[in-house]
């Protein structure tokens, strides 16, 4: 069974940093691209970042470019999202998802990031 378990969320002050992790199991992690998707309170979902299966390619939405870094450790089957210079508008539940040819196939339950002073 595919499982994705996010961790690392919480309350953080504006301008500070936070690192999210996603532990994957139930599939060969190194075979799949992975992504982070977020959902602000009472808002819709938005894609944040994607990383290729081997980590050689990364992609970001414009609003997080230069502030967020997606990375992975295939030996540990873990996906990361390093978030710097956090803003109030980054407040959201962050989901880890597995990319398939048919789009985002599996999702974790999410971790809540609250950016507030």
Partner 1 sequence: DIQMTQSPSFLSASVGDRVTINCKASQNINKYLNWYQQKLGEAPKRLIYNTNNLQTGIPSRFSGSGSGTDYTLTISSLQPEDFATYFCLQHNSFPDTFGAGTKLELK
Query: Which of residues 13 and 56 has its CB atom nearest to partner 1 in the complex?
Result: 56
Give long-range contacts, CB 8 A cutoff, 24+ apart: 106-110: 106/2, 106/4, 107/4, 107/37, 108/3, 108/4, 108/5, 108/6, 108/22, 109/5, 109/6, 110/6, 110/39
Query: Which of residues 14 and 58 has its CB atom nearest to partner 1 in the complex?
Result: 58
User: What are the backbone dihedrals phi and psi of residue 87, each rounded to the nearest 5 degrees, phi first?
Assistant: -120, 165
**Token pair recorded at residue 2:** 């595919």
Output the smallest distance, CB 108 to partner 1, in A: 6
Output the smallest distance, CB 117 to partner 1, in A: 27
Q: How far apart are CA 3 and CA 27, in angstroms?
A: 8
Output the smallest distance, CB 59 to partner 1, in A: 7
Output the smallest distance, CB 12 to partner 1, in A: 22
Query: Which of residues 27 and 59 has its CB atom nearest to partner 1 in the complex?
Result: 59
Query: Which of residues 14 and 99 has its CB atom nearest to partner 1 in the complex?
Result: 99
Residues that bind partner 1 (CB under 8 A): 4, 44-47, 59, 61, 95, 100, 102-110
CA torsion sign for 83, 94, 72, 104 is negative
């Amino acid at each position: 069974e595919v499982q994705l378990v996010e961790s690392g969320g919480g309350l953080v002050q504006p301008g500070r940093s936070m690192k999210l992790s996603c532990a994957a199991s139930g599939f060969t992690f190194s075979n799949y691209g992975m992504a982070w998707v977020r959902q602000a309170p009472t808002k819709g979902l938005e894609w944040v970042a994607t990383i290729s299966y081997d980590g050689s390619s990364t992609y970001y939405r414009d609003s997080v470019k230069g502030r967020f870094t997606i990375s992975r450790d295939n030996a540990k089957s873990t996906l990361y999202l390093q978030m710097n210079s956090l803003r109030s508008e980054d407040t959201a539940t962050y989901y880890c998802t597995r990319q398939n040819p048919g789009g985002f196939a599996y999702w974790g339950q999410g971790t809540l990031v609250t950016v507030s002073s």
